[in-house]
Chains A and B, each alone.
Chain A
Amino acid sequence: MSRKVLVVEDEANIVDSLSFLMKQAGFEVLVARDGDTAIRMMQRRPADLVLLDLMLPRRDGYEVCREIRSNPEWASVRIIMLTARGRDLDRRKGMQLGADAYITKPFSTRDIVARVQDMLSPER
C-alpha cells in the first residue's frame, strides 16, 4: 500500500506541480485548497505526510500544524512546511509547532521529492 501525501496549497499551479512530483515518486496524492479542508481530509483519510503551505485561506498553515500535532493519533504524521516567507522568525515558529521540515519557495523539485522519500522510507 502506497504512502499518502496530503498537499495543502491554494495556488492551483503549485498544487499541479506538487501532485505531479508526488505521483511520479509513487505516492498517493490528496489535495486540500484551504486549512479547514485539510483537517477534514486528515480526519477522513489520514495522510502519512503533509506538504503544508502556510498562507492559506481560512485557518493558516500554522493552525493546521498545531491541530495535527495536538492529536495523538497523528503523532507519526510527518509535516513539511512550504512557504514563500523566508524569514527566520517564520521558520522558528514552524519548527516550534512541530514541523519536521521547512522548505522555502521556490523550491527545488529534486530536493523536495528526496525529502519526502527520505521521511517516508521504511527504514526510518
Chain B
Amino acid sequence: MLASWSILLVSLAYLCLLFAIAYYGDKRADAGRSIIANPYIYALSIAVYCTSWTFYGSVGRAASSGMDFLPIYIGPTLTFVLWGFLLRKIIRICKAHRITSIADFISSRYGKSAALGGLVTLIAVLGITPYIALQLKAVSTSFNVLVQYPDVVMPPISSNVPVLKDTAFLVALLMAAFAILFGTRHIDASEHHEGMVAAIAFESIVKLVAFLAVGVYVTFGLYGGFGDLFAAAARSPQITALFTSSDSGYGHWPTLILLSMAAIICLPRQFQVAVVENVNEDHLKKAVWLFPLYLLIINIFVLPIAIGGMLHFPDGTVDADTFVLTVPMAERREGLALFVFIGGLSAATGMVIVAAIALSTMICNDLIMPVLLRLNWRNLAEQGDLSGLLLSIRRGSIVTVLLLGYAYFRFIGESVALVTIGLVSFAAVAQFAPAMIGGMYWRGATRVGAILGLSLGFALWLYTLLLPLFALSGWLPIGFVEDGPFEIGLLRPYALFGLDGMDSLSHAMFWSLVANIGGYVLGSLMSRPGAIERIQGALFVDVSGRSGAFGGTNFWRGSATVADLKTLLARFIGARESDRVLGDYARSRDLNLDRLREADAALVSFVERLLAGAIGAASARVMVASVAKGEVVGIEEVMKILDETSQVIEYSHRLEQKSQELQNTTQELRAANERLKELDKMKDDFISTVSHELRTPLTSIRSFSEILTDNPALDTTERERFLTIIVKETERLTRLINEILDLAKMEAGRMDWHMIDIDPRVVIDDALAATSSLLTSRSISLKLEADPWLPHVYADRDRLMQVIVNLIANSVKFCDDANGEVSILAGQLGGRFYLGVLDNGPGVPLDDRQIIFEKFQESSEPLANLPRGTGLGLAISRQIVEHFGGRIWVEDAPGRGAAFSFTLPVSRAAAVAAPDMESQEAL
C-alpha cells in the first residue's frame, strides 16, 4: 500500500534534491567553477524537450495510432543534425546582443520593437499554457493512479472535485513555488541560471533511467525479450490491426516533423536551455549528436511498453497514457511504480520550471516593463532599487502562468489526450519560425512584416486549433465546429474555405503558416524598415562577419555620467551585481570608473546590453535614454554613420585597388623606362656608328684631296689612282646616306611602298642586269636556276630588286677569290616564292647568322683587300622582305659558301585564275 503522504514525501524529497543540485550549481557558478560547462550537461539540459508527454504520452499514442509517436522526435533530430549552423547562428546573435528570450530575439531583430516583443510573449503564453496544463494533468493523473495501488483504477475527472482538493491544483502551486525558487532568487544580468540547468540535466537522467527501467522490465521481465513480446503481440488481432492498418496513415507525418523541427528552436523553454543558457558555443558540436542519441534511447521501449500494456489490459478500461505506470502496478512492482512516478514528475517538473522561468522573463521584459515604462517611465526611472520590483513581477508571472495552465487543464484538458494538447502548443510556437529564421537571413524583413505574419498566423491558429478545442470541451457551441460560425460553411474551423480531407493539425498548420509566411513576406516587401530595424537586421544577418561578440555598435551620440549609469544599473540588477560587472568592464579596458566622470559611448552601450539582459532590449533602450544626456543618435544620423562606414570601407577598398593599379602602372612604367633607356642607348650607338661610317669614306676623300693639292707634281698614274679612290669613296658615301635614310624611313613606317602584283622573274632579270658589271669586274661566274613558272608576288618592284641586288653584291664580296661563283635559285618552297643566292666563299659562322641582319653588323671575319660594305644592306633587305610578309635567312651552301635565302607569300591574285583576276580588276 502506497499512502498518499508517502508518495508526497518522496516527491518532495526528490524536488528538494533537484533544488539542492540547483543551489550547488549556482554556488559553483558564483565561485567561477561552473559545473555545467561541458557538452554533456548541455545536451542533457536540451532533453527537457522530453516532458511527461514523452514519458506517458508516447506510449499512449503508440497504443492508439502505432508509430505515430515518432515524428515529433524525428523533427528535432533533423534540426540538430542538419541545422546545427542555424542554432550556432542563433547562439552567436544572442550572445552578441545579450538576448534573454525568444520574444527578445524577435523584438531585437525588428528594431527593438516593444509591440513585437509583446505579441510574441502573448502568443507564447497562450500557446504554452496547454502544454503546462498537460504536465499538470500528467502529474495529477499519475499521482491519482498511483495512490490506488495496488488496484489499477482510473481517477475521477478533476472538474468534479473542488479546486482546493484537486491534486493538479496543488501540483501547480508546488511547481510555481519551485520555479520561483529556481529562477527568481535574484536578478542576473546575463539571465543565466546555471543551477537550474544542472538540475534539468539531472532530471533528464532520472526520467530516462525510469523509462528504460519500465521498458526493460516489460520486455525482459514480463516477456522473454523483444522477440517474445512481438510474437505475443502478433497473436492479438487488436494489436496487429493497429500496426498494419493503413487508414491511420502517415499523411500527417510531414506536418508533425515540420512542427517539431520548429518547436525545438521556438519553444521558449528550448530557446532558454539551448540558446540563452549556452555557456560555450562549441558545446553545440557534441550536442548535435548527443541530443538525438538521447531521443533515440528514450524511444526504444515505447512500443514494447505499449504492447505490454495492451496485452495486459485488453479490455481498454485503462487509459493507455498510464501504461508506463499501470503495468508495473498491476505486476505489484511497488518500487518500480514509485520510480516511474518520480520519472514522470521529473519530466513534468523540468518542463514546467524552465517554461515558467522563460515565460516569466518574457512577460516581465517584453510585456509588463514596456507597459510600465510607457505609462510612467520617468517616475519609474527615478525610483530606488527596482530589482525587487522586477523579481516580484517575475514571481507573479510564474504563478500566473501556472494558474493559467491549471485553468486550461481544468476546463479542457480532461477531454483531450496528452499528445493533442502538446501539438496545439507546438503549432502555436511554430508561428515564430518565419520571423525568427527569416530575420536571420533576410535583411529586407521588416517589423511590419513580422507583426503581420505573426498576427495572421496566430489568429488562424486560434481559430482552427484552439477554439475548436473549446467547442469540443463544451465551452463553445459544438455547432461552431460542425457548421461554422453563424452556420457559414466556408468558415468551419476544421475545413476553412472548404479545405477538407486533412487532419485538423495539418489543416491548421497549412492555413496558419500560409497566412504567416505570406503576411511576413508581403508586409516586409511593402514596408520600409526603420533605421534601427536596418541596423539590427544587418547585425543579425551578418553576425558571423562581425568581429567579437560586441562589435562596435555604439549608437549613442550623447554621454551620460558614470554615476548615473551605475545607479540605473543597480536599480535593475542590484548594487552588488552592478559593481561586479562594471568592475570587470573597467578592468578589461583598463579604466578607472571612480575617476571617470563622463561615460563614453562604449560604456553606455555596455550598460544598455546589461539592462537588456534584465529587462529586455526595448525597455533597456528607453531606460538608458532617460539618463544619457543628449539624444540617442538620431535614426537618420545612425544610418549616415553606417553609410559612411560602408563608404569608408568601400573607399579603402578602392584605394587598395588603386594602389594595386598604381603598382602595376609603376611596373609598366619601369619596364617602359628600361625599354626607353635601351632604345636611347641604341640610338646613341646608331648615331655613333653612323658617324663612324660616314667619317671613314670622308677621311679617304679628304686625305687624298689634300695629298693631290699639296703634291701637284705627282705622276699621272698615282694621281689617277687617288682620284679613283676619291670617286669610289664619294659613291660609297652617297650609298650610305641613301641607305640610312631608307632604313630610317622603313623603321619609322614612313616609307612609300608601291605594292603591286609582279612576276618575280622580271625583277630577277633586272637585278642581274644591274649587277653584271660587278660580276664581270671580279670575273665571277653566275648560274641562274629558276622554275619556268614562278608564282607572282605582291611587292614593291624597286625594293624587291634592291633586296636581290644586295644579296648578289654581298655574295660577290664573299666569293672565292680565284674561282668565284654565284648561283641564284628561284622557285617555290612550302607554297611560297623562294629565292636563294649562293656563293662559294668562306660562309657565315653559326654565331653570326642572326646579327649580320642587324644594322652595321658585319661578319667578324675580316676580309682583306675588299671594299667595305655599308653594313646596312642586309638590314635593309630584311626590313623589305619582312614588310612583304616574308622571311630572310642565311645558311651553309651545299659544299662551300653561304646561301642567303628569302621567301615571300604568293600574291592572292595569283592564287585565283587569271581571267577572274582581270574581271576583278575591271570591276
Contacts and interface: CB of A to CB of B under 8 A. Distances in A.
Q: Do A and B come from one complex?
A: yes
Interface of A: 10-14, 16-18, 20-21, 24, 33-34, 55, 57-58, 84-87, 104-110
Contact of B695 (A18, A20, A105): A105
Interface in B653-702: 688, 691-696, 698-702
Contacts of A16: 700, 725
Contact of A105 (B699, B861, B864, B867): B699
Given A10-B862, A12-B865, A17-B704, A105 B725 contact: no
A84 B710 CA distance: 24
Interface string B826-869: 00000000000000000000000000000000001110110110
Interface string B701-740: 1111011001100000000000001001100000000000
Top 9 A-B pairs, shortest CB-CB distance: A17-B703, A84-B695, A57-B862, A13-B700, A106-B699, A84-B692, A109-B706, A106-B702, A105-B699
A34 B862 contact: yes
Given A12-B865, A14-B700, A17-B704, A55 B729 contact: no
Contacts of A57: 860-862
A10 B696 CA distance: 11
Given A14-B703, A85-B692, A86-B691, 4 more contacts: A14-B696, A57-B860, A86-B695, A105-B699
16 contacts: A10-B862, A13-B728, A14-B696, A14-B699, A17-B699, A17-B703, A17-B707, A34-B862, A84-B694, A87-B688, A105-B696, A106-B695, A107-B703, A109-B706, A109-B707, A110-B706
Contacts of B701: 106
A48 to B, nearest CB: 22
B79 to A, nearest CB: 86
Interface of B: 688, 691-696, 698-704, 706-707, 710-711, 725, 728-729, 860-862, 864-865, 867-868
Nearest to A89: B688
Contacts of A108: 702, 706
A110 B703 CA distance: 9
Contact of B707 (A11, A20, A58, A84): A20
Contacts of B703: 14, 17-18, 21, 106-107, 109
Contacts of B868: 11
A53 to B, nearest CB: 10
B73 to A, nearest CB: 95
Contacts of A17: 699-700, 703-704, 707
A11 to B, nearest CB: 6
B862 A21 contact: no
Nearest to B702: A106
B692 A21 contact: no
A55 B860 CA distance: 12
Contacts of B696: 11, 14, 84, 105
Contacts of B860: 57
Nearest to A21: B707
Most buried by B among A10, A17, A20, A24: A17
Nearest to B700: A13
Nearest to A24: B711
Given A11-B700, A84-B696, A106-B699, A58 B706 contact: no
Nearest to B718: A20
Given A10-B862, A11-B696, A16-B725, A84 B691 contact: yes
A110 B702 CA distance: 11
Nearest to B709: A109
Contacts of A109: 702-703, 706-707, 710
B427 to A, nearest CB: 98
A112 B861 CA distance: 30
Contacts of A18: 703
B734 to A, nearest CB: 16
Contacts of B698: 105-106
Contacts of B711: 24
A113 to B, nearest CB: 10
A18 B868 CA distance: 18
A18 B704 CA distance: 10
Contacts of A87: 688
A85 B698 CA distance: 13
A28 to B, nearest CB: 19
B380 to A, nearest CB: 95
A34 B694 CA distance: 20
A10 B701 CA distance: 16
A41 B419 CA distance: 124
A52 to B, nearest CB: 14
B689 to A, nearest CB: 9
Nearest to B684: A87
Most buried by A among B703, B729, B862, B865: B703
A82 to B, nearest CB: 8
A102 B725 CA distance: 25
Contacts of A110: 706, 710
A11 B693 CA distance: 11
A99 to B, nearest CB: 18
A38 B687 CA distance: 28
B477 to A, nearest CB: 119
B710 A85 contact: no
Nearest to A56: B862
B864 A33 contact: yes
B684 to A, nearest CB: 9
